[in-house]
Structure 1
Amino acid sequence: MNVSRSRMTCVVLAAAASAVLAGPLHAQEKTPLLVYTALEEDALKFYKTGFEKANPDIEIKWVRDSTGVITAKLLAEKANPQADVVAGLAASSLALLKQQGLLQPYEPKGFASLNPNYSDTSRPPSWVGMDVWSAAICFNRIEAQKQGLPKPTSWQDLANPIYKGKITMPHPASSGTGYLDVSAWLQMWGEKDGWKYMDALDKNIAQYVHSGSKPCVQAGNGEFPIGISFEFRGHQVQKSGAPVDLIFPREGLGWDIEATGVMKATKKPVQAKRFADWMASRDANEITSKWWAVVAYPGVAKPLEGIPPDLEKLLAKNNFDWAAENRARILAEWSKRYEGKAAAK
């Protein structure tokens, strides 16, 4: 009997020990959430850390690429969507995903606190804005002086033959920044004059690169004196000490919104909506304000060196639905005219 009792005691103790060990391991299990994003790589770790601190039972798994690549990937996966959430993608792309029936309308907690001008107008919204990013010209004043180039002040100035081979620009099929430029020119001036302008500009373009950041980085390095880019990267390049001036053309700035949307096909709707809730929070907007001069949460944005305090007033009129509906047609026409100067991928 004593031997039998001893054996039983050992079994009970072993089972109890196993339960104790298994408990913490079980508690540490996290639900992976697949998030497709075009957010700048500089920012990803801050969003991941902030969200996972507030939601310790969820782990973000990023799939990150440029806006055009992420948009194409989501459309290619339409029959079998993989992402749970899309974050930091252009509103013009999210409007297209909405039109394709890929997004789940959802109004995140705290939505009423956000500026409604920077989210989908439907209620509940299919996408919710984080920040505005706008076009900017990065101008290397040292290289320009060496080459005898005047400082441009407008988009039309960039069509001056004096700048032949001196300008780089993002490819609109790869880069959201490139597409917001093309869309803005067509909307501001009408299609006839918009394409006429791009024909003239193309004569001065050295190459169309596959990143919205790269033209400003190239200008900062002196590789090319002028890069059509966006204000966030221009601010960062200036902070690095590069001799770059930021120019905000007086005709109006192309712009878009980085936004979040929940995928309709997600098998983790609870976790996906919690991510959307957090991205709409003040905490997330404070992270966003480290880089962006215009954020969705009023009163959070801070002045950024080199960025005009009235940036919002410089933004051109922008119809996101038009940009989404006409995206394929515009990109096909653009490629037919200018693809020959596209940089190798």
Structure 2
Amino acid sequence: MKPILLSSIICICLCFSRPSGSLAQDRLVIISPHWEGIRYEFGRGFKAFYQAESGREVKVEWMDVGGTSDVLRFIKSEFSNKPDGIDIDLMFGGGSDPYLELSRTNLLAPYQLPDSLLSAIPQKAGGFPLYDADYHWYGATMAGFGIIFNKRVMERMRLPNPKTWEDLTDPALFSWVGSADPRKSGSAHMPFEIILQAYGWERGWQIITALGANARSFANTGSQVPKDVTTGEIAYGMAIDFYAWAQINEVGPEMIGYTMPDNLTILNPDAIGMLKGAPNSEIARSFLRFVFSEAGQRLWMQKPGTPGGPERFQLSRFTVLPDLYRRIDPAYTSVTFNPFTWTSTFVYDA
């Protein structure tokens, strides 16, 4: 055999060979509106989980096409051109409404979690289902909507403790209330929808009008309002829970409080689901098992560096495993509210 031909064959064999003892690498593609912290912690955690479960390595690829509405629009557009599958395995995050729509249009693939995991998840929280009856989607965590308040400002200015949305209409609170612009922020839009449904159309608009009159300003993003409360620019703000917990973690519960009005708000599952035609369906199922394992659920609540907690980012979200609220050391988490002890007769019409 000629030396040049022999060298070529050897090079080709080396390119396609795998060193003995190395692990095969699999692939998972996730489209998500989640922020960097969630992507990093769940990507890192899943790699360890998958290696222990399968003995293989996995590469997690995150697709970022924008916010929740952008993700939903992208998925529907892709399926209109490729109805059998769009080369994406999972959608992760974005509330529950997108998953209801994807399920209605048969763009999600069902997967029933093992009984050992499914039995630990309540069917409902706050009157809202935590997973689809046909297993097309599951609530990986939950989001609540309430009022963040600055205790020191309230004490200094002799302002009342808020318990309901209607409390924010008190004329004594003029210029001390904050909200994001509901036209620009989904987390700001939801409380206004809740007020209209909880109080009724006529009374709801009266409350929104009076609340708006008390507002110092309307921020462009939902995350800005809790920051304004923390700095004392305002005393009260309408906020989604994890923005509030982030501020409580930063400055302490002795300064910042958060309440979810009884019977006047909702817990909304922040879901995950496998897309139809997922190219890596077995790995996607493994990711779902990880998300609902104790190892995955601890990432939502615990502080970075605590045993079983995240490595770099504090996520400050609810777990969907009720037992963890009892078993996680309070020193390991900034989430002080247990949604499973919270009751509400209010049923939100999505």
What TM-score bracket applies, with the shorter chain setting the length? 0.7 to 0.9
TM-score by length of 2: 0.74
Which of these residues, 324, 330, 333, is aligned with residue 300 of structure 1?
324
1:85 equivalent in structure 2: 90
Correspondence list, 1:27-106, <5 A: 30-38=26-34, 40-55=35-50, 56-63=57-64, 69-75=67-73, 77-81=75-79, 83-106=88-111
Correspondence list, 1:1-345, <5 A: 7=2, 12=6, 15-16=9-10, 18-24=12-18, 30-38=26-34, 40-55=35-50, 56-63=57-64, 69-75=67-73, 77-81=75-79, 83-109=88-114, 110-117=117-124, 118-123=129-134, 125-145=135-155, 147=157, 149-172=159-182, 174-241=184-251, 243-264=255-276, 266-290=278-302, 291=315, 294-301=318-325, 302=328, 303=330, 304-305=333-334, 307-309=336-338, 312-315=341-344, 317-319=346-348, 322-323=349-350
Query: For 2:295, what is the secondary structure of its paired residue?
Result: helix
Say which is worse superposed, 137-146 or 193-202, in terms of deviation: 137-146
Give the 3 Å change call, closer, same or farther, for CA 273–77 of structure 1 in structure 2. same
Which runs of 5 or more structure 2 residues have no equivalent in the other structure?
Answer: 51-56, 80-85, 303-314
Structure with greater helix share of residues = 1
Give the 3 Å change call, closer, same or farther, for CA 312–72 of structure 1 in structure 2. farther
Give the conservation status (yes or no) of the 8 Å contact 2:148–2:256: yes
* Shift, 1:210, TM fit: 4.7
Give the 3 Å change call, closer, same or farther, for CA 308–142 of structure 1 in structure 2. same
Which runs of 5 or more structure 1 residues have no equivalent in the other structure?
Answer: 324-345
Identity %: 16
Please give the root-mean-square deviation of Cα atoms over the aligned residues, in Å.
3.3
Partners of 1:95 and 1:299 in 2: how far apart?
A: 27
Give the conservation status (yes or no) of the 8 Å contact 2:28–2:280: no
* Shift, 1:60, TM fit: 2.7
Partners of 1:316 and 1:76 in 2: how far apart?
A: 36
Partners of 1:85 and 1:20 in 2: how far apart?
A: 34
1:336 equivalent in structure 2: none
Partners of 2:155 and 2:119 in 1: how far apart?
A: 50
Give the conservation status (yes or no) of the 8 Å contact 2:187–2:240: yes
Q: Deviations over 1:64-107 (max 9, x none)?
A: 75xxx313441355132465321122123322332344323332
Partners of 2:218 and 2:14 in 1: how far apart?
A: 59
TM-score by length of 1: 0.75
Give the conservation status (yes or no) of the 8 Å contact 2:264–2:344: yes
Query: What amino acid is the match of 1:89?
Result: G
Say which is worse superposed, 164-173 or 212-221, in terms of deviation: 164-173
Query: What amino acid is the match of 1:24?
Result: R
Say which is worse superposed, 41-50 or 249-258, in terms of deviation: 249-258
* Shift, 1:268, TM fit: 4.0
Give the conservation status (yes or no) of the 8 Å contact 1:294–1:312: no
